[in-house]
A and B are shown apart, each in its own frame.
Chain A
Amino acid sequence: MGLDRRKFLKIVGLSTLFGLGGKAAIDMFAPGELEASVETIPLTAGKRWAMVIDVHKIDETIIKKCVEACHREHNVPDLESKKEEIKWIWKEDYEHSFPGRHHEYVGEDVEHGSFLLLCNHCSNPPCCRVCPTKATWQREDGIVMMDQHRCIGCRFCMAACPFGARSFNWGDPRRVLEDKDLKELNPDYPTNRDYPTRSKGVVEKCTFCAERLAKGQLPACVEAANTVKKDALVFGDLDEPDSNVRAVLRNHYTIRRKPELGTNPNVFYIV
């Protein structure tokens, strides 16, 4: 246990009497405890979750697996039409993943490669700034979270997000249970009976699997990718200098999507 408030005040009060101050006093009366109390910050505070995607390690199969794992976990239906599409994680080509970086002599592997895109959980998220009801906001651990209870469906966040990471429910997603064509595409919808669906008129997106993290599990996509190829997707804490993501970032050259916009994305790509 670190210093609690009471003990801290006692030490500070006492040391003021003797003309001592600051960290020196605490080091004298309770050696080593100040550092310890910094370390025991709860999981939800002072962290910054991030993901590193190794483009060399992922292929079509892994991408498909990740998308399927995520969408099954979160009851995201396949609505067939591009206009109504709901996506939390999806496949995109190089040119559209990293616009501005494309040129005609780019290597074939890259140009025709597939990239796995998802919400970047930006450190400076424009979607949160524009949300009029705070239905989307940034948690202390960096996750850009959605509160479906509060979303009024104004779609400001969709306009603000430069990554197209948000989808709007133009209709009740449960219509796939009735509609004949859609039922064929989603035979076992809802796929996860422990997770809610959404309703008509709300915006949804990837939440870095906040509900899984709370149970100490990795995000569904990371878990799915790791069953095929280890470390294809790496998930960890950027705030921790010795963490897995920091090690990967140190040892590889990585890029992020549209960094020039200043949103500070937390999803990195090894290319």
Chain B
Amino acid sequence: MYDGGKIITGLIIGIGLFLFPFYYNAGKAAKAPDPELTAKAKEAKECVMEKAYMTANHFSLLDEWRHTVVRDADRYYTAKNGKVYYKSLQVTCLDCHSNKSKFCDKCHDYVDVDPYCWDCHIEPEEKK
């Protein structure tokens, strides 16, 4: 092999550089997000569906809501316990979850999603 020493050195440096981020970040996993509930949300105890469903699928519910509200003019949602909710992200959801930066954004930032809801729907004013 011609110039074997140079090639092997180069390879080692190359692989080293490639592996550097893994080595550098080892054991420093980003903390799982911990969205905070507001006092009002805590007091209500339940959302429009079970917590597990809401955590995993709130976007499906919101998508269904926006569709049925705008297109079918069906503006009320009856929860399993019979409670009726006005289907509105801005008026109903964010009334309890009025801490967007500490609730919505926590997970959205963690999984790097950028929902465009907020392009139009107004975020609640948060006290700093």
A interface with B by C-beta (< 8 Å): 44, 75, 137, 139, 141, 145, 147-149, 172, 190, 193-199, 210-211, 214
Contacts and interface: CB of A to CB of B under 8 A. Distances in A.
A193 B75 CA distance: 18
Interface stretch (B14-22, B23-31, B117-125): B117-125
Interface in B86-118: 88, 90-91, 116
B71 interface: yes
Most central of B70, B71, B91, B125 by chain A CB within 10 Å: B70
B120 A197 contact: yes
Interface of B: 66, 70-73, 75, 88, 90-91, 116, 119-122, 124-125
Contacts of B66: 149
Given A147-B70, A214-B73, A214-B75, A194 B91 contact: yes
A147 B119 contact: no
Given A145-B71, A193-B124, 5 more contacts: A141-B73, A147-B70, A147-B71, A197-B122, A214-B73
Q: Which of A137, A193, A210 has the largest count of B CB atoms less than 10 A from its CB?
A: A193
B91 A199 contact: no
A56 to B, nearest CB: 34
5 contacts: A75-B122, A193-B90, A196-B120, A196-B121, A197-B120
Contacts of B124: 193
